[in-house]
Amino acid sequence: MNTPPREMTSLEVDKLLGKLQPLVERLAAETGLAVSIGKISYTGNNAVFTIEAAVRGAGGIKMGREAEAFLVNAMQFGLEVTDLGRDFQHFDKWYRIVGMKPRSKNPVVCQRIEPPSTSLMLFPAHVVRHYMEKEGFRTKPSPHARIKVEIGDEPPGELPAVTS
């Protein structure tokens, strides 16, 4: 039998995270929701894991807090609510608009989709607005407009990204 730890360390937190992740993934598959582990904090005596569950919106976008913030604040930054989920090219990389952090200097939250990355990038609203309006990405079809999504027991399918 293992002796229980006497102190919460980063190693213990990593072990817990490793055991939680498959449970969260199974829950997401069973419910069809986007379920993820968010912020983790710990002290010498305890650890706190934040778990977020959200429905998927148009184009498979996870409708979490940042996506909701985009819907509420888009017009204030000169963007359209329908820009959520749209793709645009910035230099040689493609990004998808996934949310907003309205208090940030660079408030538009984007995920790099080509080359693929799980990390999120923050863009100034005027840059994204330029791509949507001047470069025509509101009407131009994206070569990355399809994403794969698994929902519950359904086999993986393709959902189109948001188009006009």
> What is the domain count for the chain?
2
What is the predicted pLDDT for the residue at 142? 72
Q: What is the pLDDT along the chain (164 residues), one digit of tens a residue?
A: 678 888 999 999 999 999 999 999 999 999 999 999 989 999 999 999 999 999 988 777 899 999 999 999 999 999 999 999 999 989 999 999 999 999 999 999 999 988 888 889 999 999 999 988 887 777 676 777 654 434 344 444 444 444 44
Whether 102 and 71 share a structural domain: yes
| Domain carrying residue 129 | 56-164
Q: Domain check: are 49 and 67 in the same one? A: no
User: Which token pair is 14?
Assistant: 């990593």
- Position 138 scores a pLDDT of 72
Which amino acid would we find at residue 149? V
- Which of left, alpha, beta for 51 (phi over 0: left; psi -120 to 50: alpha)? beta
Distance (Å, whole) CA 64 – CA 120: 14
Q: Are 39 and 67 in a shared domain?
A: no
66 and 44 in a common domain: no
Give the domain-ending residue among 18, 33, 54.
Answer: 54
Residues 50, 66 within the same domain = no
Specify whether 156 is located in the same domain as 89. yes
| Residue 1, pLDDT score | 62
Task: Write down the pLDDT at residue 105.
Answer: 95
Contacts of 26 (CB under 8 A, 6+ apart): none
Termini Cα distance of the chain: 60
Give the model's pLDDT for residue 31: 93
70 and 130 inside one domain = yes
Does the pTM surpass 0.85? The reply is: no
pLDDT at residue 35, as a whole number: 93
My answer on whether 62 and 34 are in the same domain is no
Same domain, 26 and 60: no
Specify whether 41 is located in the same domain as 104: no
Distance CA 56, CA 125 (A): 23
Are 126 and 153 found together in one domain? yes
Give yes or no: residues 78 and 156 share one domain. Answer: yes
Q: Please give the Cα distance from 126 to 133 (Å, whole number).
A: 10
